[in-house]
């Protein structure tokens, strides 16, 4: 049988296609790598260290491509990303110590699982609610909106309120606004604690935290979150690389697909109306919380069928959101909203 | 052979750095490669979509 980088031709094609979907997702939302790839590799029968190590390395590679694409569009705040990374690193240490503490009490698995499900559901609800509100605001106040339009309209109300408390030292963000260093450190530390505590990449927390708490426009939150993914993915790749558990064949096949997907997803942020897709993102996170819940139940009840159901739900909802991004992108082009290749220049 | 075996035998840290370098180079090559393809075919694709 024909083999490519240790994979059968069929498996290689599957990884390239799957990589494309994850790439679109990653480029558009600044998250979704570890979240989707690790369970897929586990379902395919790869040992957990290989699945996690290869995913981390894949996230690192895809984040390079997506960050470069967002960089071209001026959507990456490097100083903010670097400062957050310091907080994230310290937070991961704190989060992992918290897990070890809970392990001594014998409740680590229960607490981590419940926290993961609740956090996904909470972020999903937040995005869905805000998208619905933005949609109704758009319909009822379109005239007023054009009158009062300024760059702050890109920032959610909650972030504007947090930004109004000027606690020094203040730091200037790439969009010209300022944010307290305390807020940035707090967000970085908080995201790190969640990553370390749940054992996840943290993109699904990092991007909303930058957007809703630090208060950057959504596209900059995505670009800066990707930079965070690049840095944490690099650290993860190094750690697992030292253990010799990374499968370069899987990483390469996924990267071939995701490199194209990430270009399309990143470009789409420049011309697709965020509210059109944000609602799908919120719903996807809600479905993902159900999927994670089912996966945990599968372990507790020793019912592997629930694990497969969880995987189908996760991939199905991701595929739906990915299709919606491509559909709304094509629609925007038909309406003449702009050529992404021009937008990047 | 997945390619990972090429780095076997060296110290773990060197193994990890070599692997990260390979992935970094792959990412850059793919970014540039797809960029060239995008520049070449994007106007035609967007023209078709607008129709």
Report pLDDT digits (tens) over B8-47: 667 888 888 988 999 999 999 999 998 898 888 878 877 7
Tokens of A234: 């690099």
Shortest alpha-carbon distance between residue B18 and chain A (Å): 9
- A259 contacts on B by Cβ (under 8 Å): 27, 30-31, 33-34
Contact A2, A9 (CB under 8 A): yes
Cβ of residue A11 closer than 8 Å to a chain B Cβ: no
pLDDT higher than 90, residue A38: no
Candidates A269, A256, A201; CA nearest to A18 is A256
pLDDT higher than 60, residue A81: yes
Handedness of CA A55, A61, A67, A69 (dihedral sign): negative
- Residue A179 pairs with which residues in a beta bridge? A171
Task: Determine the Cα–Cα distance for residues A213 and A329; give it in Å rounded to an integer.
Answer: 28
Contact A123, A205 (CB under 8 A): yes
- A341–B38 C-beta distance less than 8 A: yes
Contact B27, A69 (CB under 8 A): no
**What is the per-residue pLDDT for B21?**
93
Handedness of CA A308, A314, A320, A323 (dihedral sign): negative
In three-state secondary structure terms, A56 is: helix
Model pLDDT for residues A276-300, shown as the tens digit of each residue: 667 877 888 888 888 888 888 887 8
Task: Determine the Cα–Cα distance for residues A124 and A142; give it in Å rounded to an integer.
Answer: 26
The chain-wide mean pLDDT, for chain A, equals 79
Contact A61, A23 (CB under 8 A): no
Shortest alpha-carbon distance between residue A40 and chain B (Å): 19
Alpha helices, DSSP H, located in A9-107: 9-29, 33-43, 48-72, 78-105
**What is the per-residue pLDDT for A150?**
43
Candidates A61, A57, A72; CA nearest to A243 is A57
- A7 contacts on B by Cβ (under 8 Å): 2
- Of the candidates B16, B22, B50, the beta carbon closest to that of A248 is on B22
**pLDDT band with cut points at 50, 70 and 90 for residue A70:** confident
**pLDDT band with cut points at 50, 70 and 90 for residue A95:** confident
Terminal CA-CA length for chain B: 47
- B31 contacts on A by Cβ (under 8 Å): 64-65, 68-69, 259, 263
pLDDT higher than 70, residue A48: yes
Between A151 and A335, the more confident residue is A335
Residues comprising chain B, all counted: 51
The Cα-based distances of A298 to A46, A227, A292 in angstroms read 18, 35, 10
pLDDT higher than 90, residue A211: no
Task: Determine the Cα–Cα distance for residues B20 and B17; give it in Å rounded to an integer.
Answer: 5
Task: Determine the Cα–Cα distance for residues A21 and A58; give it in Å rounded to an integer.
Answer: 13
Model pLDDT for residues A185-200, shown as the tens digit of each residue: 888 888 888 877 776 7
- B50 contacts on A by Cβ (under 8 Å): 333-334, 336
Model pLDDT for residues A1-12, shown as the tens digit of each residue: 567 777 788 888
- B22–A249 C-beta distance less than 8 A: no
Residue A199's Cβ-count burial label (10 Å; 0-12, 13-18, 19+) is: middle
pLDDT higher than 80, residue A339: no
B interface with A, Cβ–Cβ below 8 Å = 1-4, 8, 12-13, 15-17, 19-20, 22-24, 26-28, 30-31, 33-35, 38-39, 42-43, 46, 49-50
- A61 contacts on B by Cβ (under 8 Å): 23-24, 26-27
- B46–A341 C-beta distance less than 8 A: yes
Task: Determine the Cα–Cα distance for residues A105 and A92; give it in Å rounded to an integer.
Answer: 20
pLDDT higher than 60, residue A142: no
Tokens of A82: 């670097």
- Residue A110 pairs with which residues in a beta bridge? none
List the Cα angle A149/A152/A157 in 5-degree steps: 110
**What is the per-residue pLDDT for B29?**
94
- Of the candidates B2, B8, B24, the beta carbon closest to that of A64 is on B24
**Mean of pLDDT values over A228-243:** 84
Residue of A nearest to B49 (CA): A334
DSSP annotation string for A204-230:
HHHHHHIIIII---HHHHHHHHHHHHH
Tokens of A56: 């981390």
- B42–A248 C-beta distance less than 8 A: no
**pLDDT band with cut points at 50, 70 and 90 for residue A257:** very high
Model pLDDT for residues A111-136, shown as the tens digit of each residue: 877 888 888 888 888 888 877 877 66
**Mean of pLDDT values over A210-236:** 84
CB < 8 Å from B in window 17-76 of A: 57, 60-62, 64-65, 68-69
pLDDT higher than 60, residue A143: no
- Of the candidates A263, A336, A340, the beta carbon closest to that of B34 is on A263
Task: Determine the Cα–Cα distance for residues B37 and B15; give it in Å rounded to an integer.
Answer: 33
- State yes or no: cis peptide before A169, omega within 30 of 0: yes
- B4–A246 C-beta distance less than 8 A: yes
ipTM above 0.95, yes or no: no
Tokens of A97: 């110590």
**What is the per-residue pLDDT for B33?**
92
**What is the per-residue pLDDT for A338?**
52
**Mean of pLDDT values over A234-247:** 84
**What is the per-residue pLDDT for B30?**
92
Shortest alpha-carbon distance between residue B34 and chain A (Å): 7
Task: Determine the Cα–Cα distance for residues A235 and A250; give it in Å rounded to an integer.
Answer: 19
Listed range (A70-84, A86-100, A146-160) with the worst mean pLDDT:
A146-160
């Amino acid at each position: 049988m024909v083999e490519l980088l240790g994979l059968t031709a069929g498996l290689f094609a599957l990884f390239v296609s799957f990589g494309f979907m994850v790439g679109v997702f990653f480029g558009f939302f600044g998250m979704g790598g570890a979240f989707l790839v690790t369970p897929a590799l586990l379902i395919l029968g790869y040992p957990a260290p290989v699945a996690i190590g290869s995913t981390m390395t894949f996230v690192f590679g895809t984040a390079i491509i997506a960050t470069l694409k967002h960089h071209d569009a001026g959507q990456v705040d490097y100083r903010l990303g670097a400062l957050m990374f310091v907080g994230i690193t310290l937070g991961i240490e704190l989060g992992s110590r918290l897990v070890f503490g809970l392990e001594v009490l014998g409740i680590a698995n229960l607490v981590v699982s419940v926290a993961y499900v609740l956090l996904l559901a909470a972020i999903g609800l937040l995005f869905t609610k805000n998208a619905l509100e933005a949609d109704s605001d758009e319909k009822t106040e379109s005239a007023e909106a054009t009158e009062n339009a300024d760059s702050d309209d890109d920032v959610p109300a909650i972030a504007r309120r947090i930004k109004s408390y000027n606690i020094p030292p203040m730091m200037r963000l790439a969009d010209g606004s300022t944010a307290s260093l305390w807020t940035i450190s707090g967000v970085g530390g908080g995201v790190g604690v969640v990553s370390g505590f749940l054992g996840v990449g943290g993109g699904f927390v990092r991007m909303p935290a930058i957007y809703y708490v630090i208060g950057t426009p959504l596209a900059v939150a995505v670009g800066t979150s990707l930079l965070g993914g690049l840095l944490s993915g690099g650290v993860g790749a190094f750690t697992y690389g030292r253990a010799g558990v990374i499968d370069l064949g899987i990483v390469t096949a996924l990267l071939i697909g995701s490199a194209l997907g990430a270009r399309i997803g990143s470009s789409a942020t420049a011309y697709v109306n965020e509210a059109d897709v944000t609602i799908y993102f919120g719903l996807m996170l809600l479905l993902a919380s159900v999927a994670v819940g089912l996966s945990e139940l599968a372990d507790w009840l020793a019912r592997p069928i629930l694990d497969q159901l969880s995987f189908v739900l996760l991939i199905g909802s991701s595929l739906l959101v990915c299709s919606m991004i491509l559909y709304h992108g094509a629609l925007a082009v038909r309406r003449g909203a702009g050529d992404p290749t021009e937008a990047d220049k | 052979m997945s390619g990972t075996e090429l780095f076997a035998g060296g110290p773990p840290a060197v193994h990890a750095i070599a692997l990260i370098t390979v992935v970094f180079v792959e990412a850059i090559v793919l970014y540039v490669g797809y960029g060239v393809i995008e520049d070449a075919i994007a106007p035609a694709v967007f023209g078709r979509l607008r129709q």
